Structure 1
Amino acid sequence: MIMYLLMALTAAVVSYAGTWGARVAGNKLRLYRPIRSRDMHSALISKLGGLGIFAGFFVALVVASNSFFVKDIFRHNDGPWGILAGAVVIVAVGVADDILDIRWWIKLLGQAAAAFIVAIWGVRMSVVPFIPEPIFLESEVVQIVLTAGLIVTTMNAVNFIDGLDGLAAGVAIIGGGAFFLTAYWVHRNNPSTDNSDLATLLMAILVGSCIGFLPHNWFPAKIFMGDSGAMLIGLLMASAGVVATGQIGSGLYDRANGIPTIVPILLPFAVLSLPLLDLGMAVVRRTARGQSPWSADRGHLHHKLVDLGYSHRAAVVMLYVWTCILAFGGVAFAVFPWQIVLIVVIAAALIMAVVTAWPYIHRTNRDSAS
């Protein structure tokens, strides 16, 4: 645990300094994008914060490869470097979009390129969790395509939810923290395996990088993470999920209570349930209007909360709470009996649903009374 925390601290310090440097450079060079009608800010702000997050990830990964305990992850394993190569590509694509506003299909091609780099040279999905038995994928082509598809989907999910100051970084910290604790717990409690784990390391570094970035991005934001930061977070989260999924046949998750065969694939979807929900709703909404699924609008979850009457900060905190319920509720299946977890999560979600809708309920009652 100590080494993982040290890697997270390294990522946080470097990310904080790197984001500060990107902020200064962006302001000095006036690398701004015009304010759009759907934007929630009113001042020109640089969107190069993803460079700071990447700096934290890069330095911490290199340090980890030469550090006690966690360096065993890199022994005879090209996975971390394949993920780093994909990260370099997606950050480059994101920066180009943040500065030049490239066409959506060009950005999608860049996402696919980064995802395929990870799937070919980094990590890939070899098992599809299923009940009663997992499905093992023999075809490398199928493994690569499924992995790339998962990575692209996750990158867009995180990118879609990045609409309020501190939102995407906070969701990544909460979701990544839940993922980290579960992956660490599973390895720590299995005496037959090396306790070092790539998924746990990736989540420690990701959480640290986002912690270092968040002070610059908290409302009112001084810099945005932009597409480069949001897509990097999605790539790292999906890659960690692929690593966890590949461990189904190893016996690592046999000690998990409840539904062990689906716990690994449940992790990334649980911690990213809110962004994935927002992504799905956006695709359905835009397709129904005859628009491209990648076209922008002002119909995301965070926009709806602000329209309900929540302040900027209140809307962000509200989505933080929802992320806690869904993320920690999802990973609780690896620790507690699923029946108990299900009851607690449903109860918490119902209470939170009433709290979230309270401004609308209050306004409706007030209008009815008048």
Structure 2
Amino acid sequence: MREYALTFVIAVAVTYLLTPFVRRAAIAVGAVPPVRDRDVHTEPIPRMGGVAIYGGFAAAMLISAQLPHLQEVFRTDTAKIWSGLLLAGGLITVIGIIDDRWGMGPVPKLAGQTAAAGILVAQGVQLLWLPLPGMQLSLGPWLGAVLSVLLILVTINAVNFADGLDGLAAGIVAISAMAFFAYYYVAAVDRGFERQSYPAMIAIILVGVCIGFLLHNFNPARVFMGDTGSMLLGLLLASITISVTGLFLPDREAAAADGMSGFHALAAFLPVLLPLLVLALPLADLVLAVVRRTLAGKSPFAPDKKHLHHRLLELGHSHKRAVLLMYLWAAIIAFASVSLSVLNSPLMVLTVTVLVAACAVGLITLPRLRRRTLRRRAAELRAAGAEQAEGGTGS
């Protein structure tokens, strides 16, 4: 665990220190787009912050490879995976730089994302099987490669779509990666597996680079990650999902003996479900946006101001509070899922989750309730004033 902690600190420090240099470089090359109608910020802010995220990831990975207790993580049979992450991450970063500075159409951008996903899959980050209820479905090399590329593309674009408020995408990805790390580490201890592994290493580095960047990106943001960062974070998050899937098959005999087979079976499905659950709000927002624009006769890519974060702002939440509420929902979903899969107290986990979720719903509706209260008081004061005026006239 100390090696993981050191890796985390390296990722935070390098990303944090690189970000001001990247911000100045973005200003120098003109990656400071004007404010658009749908934007929630009022002044132009430089993009390309993802370059610092890539630098922090690469530095943490290369330095960690020299630590004695972590050298096994970078052994020969996983070296291709690490080189694949560097190559695919480098390609997606270059694509993001081009998009943040000059702009790219959806088709060229999708082609670049597919190329990066192909590099990652070719280097060994590939689904080999999928856990299904009561069975384990083996995938052939071609089907596994296609499904892996599709999963990477969906995750990249979901994270990209979540990048609508200062610090939102980085915070949600950090929460998801931390949940993955907790899931892997607790399950590895429980099953007696190797605790130092590349999925856990990718997860802890991802948490570190997100937090290091958040120190510059939380509202009021001084720099945006842009597509450079959001696509890179999606790529790395997808690599964890694929790497962990199938590692922990449910021990059905042991689970049945404990009377909890339904809950412990969740451990096998969690890697596939977790990113979808954590990104459920952005994904739902994406689907609703496509349906909304299509029904209105517009292009699915046409911008508007009806996204989830816009609606939270319309309810009366401040920028920071809207982001923190979305963090809260992501944390509730992620850590409730992890707890259900690894703990022996499902009723307690569900009870705590329901209570926290109820508090979150209350926080979301609080501004609307406050406005209703203020309107009611104002109406009462106006009525009282009118009665006094009538009384004064009568006298």
TM-score between the two structures when normalised by the length of structure 1 = 0.91
State the partner residue of 1:263. Answer: 270
Does residue 353 in structure 1 map to residue 361 in structure 2? yes
Judge conservation of contact 1:178–1:271 (CA < 8 Å) in 2.
no
Q: How does 1:1-370 map to 2 (within 5 A)?
A: 1-75=1-75, 76-77=77-78, 78-137=80-139, 139-191=140-192, 193-249=193-249, 257=264, 259-336=266-343, 337-364=345-372, 370=379
- CA deviation after TM superposition for structure 1 residue 362, in Å: 4.2
SS in structure 1 of the partner of residue 41 of structure 2: coil
Distance in 2 separating the partners of 1:339 and 1:262: 20
Distance in 1 separating the partners of 2:137 and 2:374: 55
Distance in 2 separating the partners of 1:12 and 1:93: 24
CA deviation digits over 1:160-179, x for unaligned, max 9?
11111121112222222222
Distance in 1 separating the partners of 2:224 and 2:185: 31
One-letter amino acid matched to 2:356: A
One-letter amino acid matched to 1:42: T
Distance in 1 separating the partners of 2:176 and 2:215: 18
Judge conservation of contact 1:157–1:278 (CA < 8 Å) in 2.
no
- Across the aligned residues of Structure 1 and Structure 2, the Cα RMSD in angstroms comes to 2.3
SS in structure 2 of the partner of residue 135 of structure 1: strand
Distance 1:195 1:30, change over 3 A: same
Distance in 1 separating the partners of 2:121 and 2:23: 32
Q: Which moved more, 1:31-40 or 1:268-277?
A: 268-277
SS in structure 1 of the partner of residue 264 of structure 2: coil
One-letter amino acid matched to 1:280: V
Distance 1:121 1:289, change over 3 A: farther
SS in structure 1 of the partner of residue 317 of structure 2: coil
Judge conservation of contact 1:154–1:276 (CA < 8 Å) in 2.
no
Distance 1:250 1:353, change over 3 A: closer
Distance in 1 separating the partners of 2:336 and 2:290: 26
One-letter amino acid matched to 2:283: L
State the partner residue of 2:393. Answer: none
CA deviation digits over 1:313-345, x for unaligned, max 9?
111111111111111112112222445434433
Distance in 2 separating the partners of 1:296 and 1:5: 41
Distance in 2 separating the partners of 1:122 and 1:88: 17
SS in structure 1 of the partner of residue 237 of structure 2: helix
Distance 1:290 1:82, change over 3 A: farther
- CA deviation after TM superposition for structure 1 residue 250, in Å: 9.5
Judge conservation of contact 2:181–2:200 (CA < 8 Å) in 1.
yes
Distance in 2 separating the partners of 1:340 and 1:259: 16
State the partner residue of 2:386. Answer: none
SS in structure 2 of the partner of residue 235 of structure 1: helix
One-letter amino acid matched to 1:152: L
- CA deviation after TM superposition for structure 1 residue 158, in Å: 0.9
TM-score between the two structures when normalised by the length of structure 2 = 0.86
Q: State the aligned residue count.
A: 367
Distance in 1 separating the partners of 2:267 and 2:334: 17
Structure 2 residues not aligned, in runs of 5+: 256-262, 380-395
Judge conservation of contact 1:187–1:196 (CA < 8 Å) in 2.
no
- CA deviation after TM superposition for structure 1 residue 359, in Å: 2.4
Identity over aligned residues, as a percent?
Answer: 37
Say which structure, 1 or 2, has more relative contact order (CA 8 Å, 6+ apart). Answer: 1
Judge conservation of contact 1:179–1:268 (CA < 8 Å) in 2.
no
CA deviation digits over 1:16-35, x for unaligned, max 9?
12111101212234321121
Structure 1 residues not aligned, in runs of 5+: none
CA deviation digits over 1:333-367, x for unaligned, max 9?
22224454344333432332232123234445666
One-letter amino acid matched to 2:278: V
One-letter amino acid matched to 1:218: F
